[in-house]
Structure 1
């Protein structure tokens, strides 16, 4: 069958699979059993997203704060020599997924080590040996990838199947995510579990499914860089890999962009509450529902995509903080095949390879039968990998079953490959010029199957639920055609000039705020401390601070953590109506929750007081028949204690209700109104002035003052100048437009100025108070850095001359600051 006429089985749902539960808020999306999402572009939600997207466009294309300035778009960053970057960082790489997800980042970690970086790879416990043998430090974050893969095969979409809800699998997955979030945070600040050597991260690299990355970076105020094998950034060039766009009158380029918003909202819906509960445990505020789905894009977090531009070129609407670097390949491991495999390869023509890696399926025997029958129908020899599903039985003359075998070695010796479409396996097959059939199960696998088919290097992907012996045999035969082989060889030819891992390291370095990272005393170390004295400040490294402390040059009480890359998550407002409604709803929700606690918590204390206590030293056979005076006094004391606990819980709940009310009425609602009025000029193409972020009472007061002056001045002046300007440019019609703009500006800028004069300072005061109260995490980071600095001075000893030079340069720098 010609691949252009091959039916798309992607939307078939097996009869035994139940309909997903209704999610009324997201009526614009239906999720199929194969993980594809039907996006209804004519729904109210999709149309609203389209309008929001138009408002966001200018904001999205602005340069990212605290990172490098925008540069011309380039397809692949130019690799650099190891000597071109000389600041040695502690880098933690956080990866969630299968062995195939971990393996490319081992190659990345080894490349980073060449630049003098200390690299810790934080992932699932089962990969400890795999990571440690590569020479990288390992940190366990929990989570079972086998269970995760099994869950994803059963629920490849973003919304779980009803049978998974009934079986409690969703709660297990949410609990696993909570465990991994906590493990990712510990990977940033806890000692090495094998050597007990202290470690505090200076930068984070992560794949998006690890979820903790931006939040850990915010808590530490350090750079974060995302790397992934699947498009995760909105673009007009193509829809989200998990989205099927329904026919609509909406412009196709806007529709492509909307598909990312729909998928992001569905993802955040399932895990947003888990993430916010974990954020509270590390002293971070909850992320608003409107900001959580697109957080990485809003914050302009640097992103490196690990695929070949020969397959998917960089979209023109992706800004310069997003790179495509090529696939990540590790150094081929030394491998000696077992006698059975060697004999099979030598006994006939090159076989095809079939394997699904770490995919875990419920019925491996059924899949084995399909594979064996398809191989027989195609009349080929095959090597089949058992994988995590333990496929197969005894080998035969035509089929040889294998366990672990490096793809880099094996794919040079086969005629074509059939696999699940994991990015690493896809890359290895194409790099060796092998035509490929993809049988996707979930995630980015369908995306890679489509890209391979589009390049002519394989047939259309066959979703695993639709796989049978007939369509698999046809796919294998297509891969063996001269046309498919030629297309695969063409891709391999282009890929041989790519340096994925080296280019990714350069991309990582290029986006670091290097001007804020270097220690002036030890230039090869990052500055992690801010030394403040007499109104002056100096950024210093761990080792420099410890040496200065040892020589009584500074007092540790004057040290603060240096915020290399502070991250501020704002609740953006688009207009005063929705802003005030959203803030009011949030306030009401907080009050309702606190009221529930005010009622339920005292009841909990009552139940706890009524629970029988252990009998203590009294034996089961010698219980007193009558209460003794001592026991009567004890019971009375317990009742009084219970009553006191109930009263305390009730007062605490009342305090939360009162606090939520006053915070909403005095801070949140006025701030939402001021911001909403300030943003209205966007509607007629005028960009509001950017005053930065309200971080504390000082920045709040400054923003309130500047917004008041500018709002009053621009609002009053614009009422007269805009009609005149419009008349000069467009005549009478321009004067009418200018009058409308001036009137609208007067009606919005003056209220924003008046309300903001109070709202912004109060918002800053609230942030200052909350920062002072939430100090547990900051203290933990300070202690971890002091401990690491002490250990580093014991491991990295300076000579007496180097130490004297450091002390002299410190004196000179402080003298210059005093002058």
Structure 2
């Protein structure tokens, strides 16, 4: 696979990308042309005045990773709570007590970060090295990803696991490795905002943090940009089947193959990066919906240090700090020996955090072994910090002006190591695979040089002028569709229902609480309420020209038919094998009340009962074999008709519509097809607009060309006009069939995909009833809701 994609995995887990290879060039071109990056030079959001939240939201923050990945979002959650939001932090169960002690709600999403950290240390990159390849390990991690995806969805709609208080998310904040974010938001119809500690958005200024870029046929800026495309593609290839299976559970369509790697860019998902602009500014080609806000610092914990720690700190020269947090290595004893020998060689005193590696050694007057201690307190009392380069630990060290030595293991840690070294606040990072007592002791001695201390203090001064958490809240706020989120009756609550009365055509947006109060007091009927989407997410398969579009549609249709044809024979065999395995399991003999073979006295006719169960299992297996074959045959016919009637005409239509983009003209968007009604509307608009614009091009394009370039421009305009009338009129005519058929197909599919919608509606009703029961505590009065409803009714007439 490495040769196929022009990649090579290094010992430190980073990926060598040969961008001159045909595969990398093809992937880069595919993802790049599908990602319309709109650069800007906007500065990070300032926080010069208080930002108010016009609507109080239920916000779920979904985080996958280590303690250092979770900690910044505790600070964010605490800040959001100050503005009146209800915040649920959904992450691994090991962090439950820590999160609850911070005053936030907690929801477990599964996954074991200790196991994940151990795996990542062994396989630090996106792709495991062949020498470390273990199919069982990979399968286990894939199962963990599937478990986390399900857990993230449950965190959006399930009750609090301890208090049983209902919860339905109104907005999602997530880090990219949680992977469920966009899909949960699409199912719920709510906004999603991503936040992360390392660059995840394509830029020409720096390469992807996980890539070593090799190139000779392009420029450094293009190589940097393409590195993101290739890494995104590799990530998507490894997870696409798991994510598509997850989407099926949510009644969502699978993500088109060519769209998965660039979803964040093409959907323009808001992104906030939580590092200090004092270390790295916002790249100039990042889009308007991307911000760099500063580090997320929590409030100083209420911490009383143990007396022996205080005594050690004040007993001699300031010690250094050494700790590797939640990193798990294969040989903790050898790692400890290396660290202790480096401390001895450097001639310094040290506070060593045991962490998940349980670093420990013989007692020494120059070393203090520490269990739990907030970095915010400890780093004020040390002279330098040595750690793995987690974003939170790096930020805290620089916050207090401490020179920093980073020993990166995987992920964003090398990125932070290079960033700190470039800023002059520490020596060059030492990769874990290269670590020994000598180079670590040299790095410690270098970090204590006056010039490095001075550089760290200068960064600290700049960081003290920032307010990263508050700026992140502002960034989150400015991308929310507030106008679509307000309840018409209780404006400070989010709308969850749309109330429609067909006779008078009245429409009203209602919160969960207001809707439940009105239903309970018989002012409205529950059947007139429909779930409301504050932010609709549509994932489209974009087309770029009629030839490739039509060809790919033919190939996709043929592939589905071939697979379904194979299943006609494969499915019966699979059902037969499954039935054989089940019959090998001894069946439990039924009691006298269940079995027709057993006399009333209660004795058991074992052989008769066994024969009966065997015949029953054989019949069940036979029916399953016939059913599997019949379903597969049905899929062959269905795939053929779907391809011929909908998919191929739609692909050709979209390809023809995209032709003007090839010569620099903007392609009009006539809306999204969601059902038969919208399909008819889009078909009509496409027909009228396409015919009008196509005929107009015969005259408009030559005129525009002559005005801009004279005779040569006029000739070009004639060519454009000819191409325009052919493509636009053809797509207009074909679109009548294609978009209408697409709409009908989606309506038919929706009839059989109501489980998720029903689940969401039930969860909203449940929370509405809870809010009604505690309305007075929430400052909600029934009379106020009824009066607001009556006023709204009068305004409608």
TM-score range, shorter chain: over 0.9
Distance 1:258 1:404, change over 3 A: same
8 A contact 2:495–2:512 mirrored in 1: yes
Matches within 5 A, 1:642-657: 642-657=621-636
2-side partners of 1:799 and 1:196: how far apart?
18
Match of residue 783 from structure 1 = 762
Deviation at 1:801, TM superposition (A): 11
Matches within 5 A, 1:481-500: 481-500=449-468
2-side partners of 1:493 and 1:800: how far apart?
43
Match of residue 517 from structure 2 = 547
1:344 equivalent in alignment to 2:275: no
Q: CA RMSD in A?
A: 2.4
Deviation digits for residues 639-660 of structure 1 (CA, Å, limit 9, x no counterpart): 5554333222221221122222
1:670 equivalent in alignment to 2:670: no
Instruction: In structure 1, list runs of 5 or more residues that go unmatched.
Output: 1-21, 63-70
Deviation at 1:607, TM superposition (A): 4.0
1-side partners of 2:49 and 2:92: how far apart?
31
Matches within 5 A, 1:226-375: 226-375=194-343
2-side partners of 1:217 and 1:641: how far apart?
40
2-side partners of 1:536 and 1:105: how far apart?
41
2-side partners of 1:694 and 1:165: how far apart?
44
TM-score normalised by the chain length of structure 1: 0.91
1:614 equivalent in alignment to 2:592: no
Larger deviation: 556-565 or 634-643?
634-643
Instruction: In structure 2, list runs of 5 or more residues that go unmatched.
Output: 593-602
1:566 equivalent in alignment to 2:543: no
Matches within 5 A, 1:682-697: 682-697=661-676
Match of residue 660 from structure 1 = 639
8 A contact 1:309–1:324 mirrored in 2: yes
Match of residue 773 from structure 1 = 752
Match of residue 737 from structure 2 = 758
Larger deviation: 151-160 or 378-387?
378-387
SS at match of 1:60: coil
8 A contact 2:60–2:155 mirrored in 1: yes
Match of residue 73 from structure 1 = 42
SS at match of 1:61: coil
Deviation at 1:523, TM superposition (A): 1.6
8 A contact 2:34–2:262 mirrored in 1: no
2-side partners of 1:172 and 1:631: how far apart?
38
Match of residue 591 from structure 1 = 561
Match of residue 186 from structure 1 = 154
Deviation at 1:792, TM superposition (A): 0.7
1-side partners of 2:525 and 2:659: how far apart?
50
Distance 1:739 1:102, change over 3 A: same
SS at match of 2:671: coil
Match of residue 109 from structure 2 = 141
Matches within 5 A, 1:343-742: 343-534=311-502, 535-610=505-580, 611=583, 614=587, 616=589, 639-742=618-721
Distance 1:732 1:175, change over 3 A: same
8 A contact 2:41–2:284 mirrored in 1: no
1-side partners of 2:612 and 2:605: how far apart?
15
Deviation at 1:241, TM superposition (A): 1.1
SS at match of 1:168: helix
Deviation at 1:183, TM superposition (A): 0.5
Deviation at 1:33, TM superposition (A): 2.2
2-side partners of 1:501 and 1:252: how far apart?
34
Match of residue 18 from structure 1 = none
8 A contact 1:394–1:401 mirrored in 2: no
SS at match of 2:356: coil
1-side partners of 2:294 and 2:41: how far apart?
19
Deviation at 1:432, TM superposition (A): 0.4
Larger deviation: 532-541 or 589-598?
589-598
Larger deviation: 494-503 or 385-394?
385-394
Deviation at 1:24, TM superposition (A): 5.5
2-side partners of 1:230 and 1:609: how far apart?
50
Deviation digits for residues 565-621 of structure 1 (CA, Å, limit 9, x no counterpart): 1110001111222222332333233333333332233234434555256262599xx
Matches within 5 A, 1:140-179: 140-166=108-134, 168-179=136-147
Matches within 5 A, 1:55-66: 55-56=33-34, 59-61=36-38
SS at match of 2:491: coil
Distance 1:515 1:469, change over 3 A: same
Distance 1:800 1:675, change over 3 A: closer
Larger deviation: 166-175 or 743-752?
743-752
Match of residue 597 from structure 2 = none
Across the two proteins, how many residue pairs are aligned to each other? 782
2-side partners of 1:136 and 1:102: how far apart?
12
Deviation digits for residues 518-569 of structure 1 (CA, Å, limit 9, x no counterpart): 1121122111110111232110011111111111110001110011111100
Deviation digits for residues 202-225 of structure 1 (CA, Å, limit 9, x no counterpart): 111111111111110000001111
2-side partners of 1:261 and 1:408: how far apart?
38
8 A contact 2:28–2:229 mirrored in 1: no
1-side partners of 2:2 and 2:240: how far apart?
15
SS at match of 2:386: strand
Distance 1:747 1:440, change over 3 A: same
TM-score normalised by the chain length of structure 2: 0.94
2-side partners of 1:636 and 1:342: how far apart?
77
- Aligned equivalent of 1:32, options 1, 6, 10: 10
Deviation digits for residues 81-126 of structure 1 (CA, Å, limit 9, x no counterpart): 36x2141111111111111111111111111111111111111011
8 A contact 2:579–2:621 mirrored in 1: yes
8 A contact 1:307–1:324 mirrored in 2: yes
Distance 1:398 1:805, change over 3 A: closer
8 A contact 2:215–2:223 mirrored in 1: no
